[in-house]
Structure 1
């Protein structure tokens, strides 16, 4: 299944936790998706999946949710896309 990343971002917020997201499309799916990531330390991540725009097929949404749960490579590709956009403050470099 071909995955295309449309945009991604990751920020460190005031409490030093990480919040980011990746918008992506999948081949043969009618709507783009957005996965939002959250981590207090940047090591273990929680995520939330939603449609990036107008809602699409619930069946396709559930397929993507199952894909993220079962395919670490796809999940990591989306997380890495967000992490790659993060700017490291000079005091941490």
Structure 2
């Protein structure tokens, strides 16, 4: 899966668990997205997706959300990138 990661970070604390962000762009996409991640035990991830720079259309955002839901490899790559930058 080809994806350009522009920024990623992850923190962990007792109250919130794991909280991270990944800024990314996929080939052929004009939009840059920011994925905010949260998980108590780094297993089941909740997330929020929004545009990182310029706003796009609601349809573009919904299409990327659908892609993240369906493409486990892409989602796991984004989570992995954030986890690789875990700050204690």
Quickly name the TM-score band, shorter chain normalised. Answer: 0.7 to 0.9
Unaligned runs of 5+ in 2: none
Runs of 4 or more consecutive aligned structure 1 residues displaced over 6 Å after TM superposition: none
Q: Is the 8 A contact 1:30 1:57 kept in 2?
A: no
Does the alignment pair 1:33 with 2:33?
Answer: yes
**TM norm structure 1:** 0.84
1:21-71 residue CA offsets vs partner (Å, 9 max, x unmatched): 100011222220000100112221101111011211333222211110001
**TM norm structure 2:** 0.88
Cα RMSD between the aligned structures? 1.7
Residue of structure 2 in register with 1:55 after alignment: 55
> Which protein has the larger Cα radius of gyration, Structure 1 or Structure 2?
1
Q: Report SS of the residue matched to 1:42.
A: coil
Unaligned runs of 5+ in 1: none
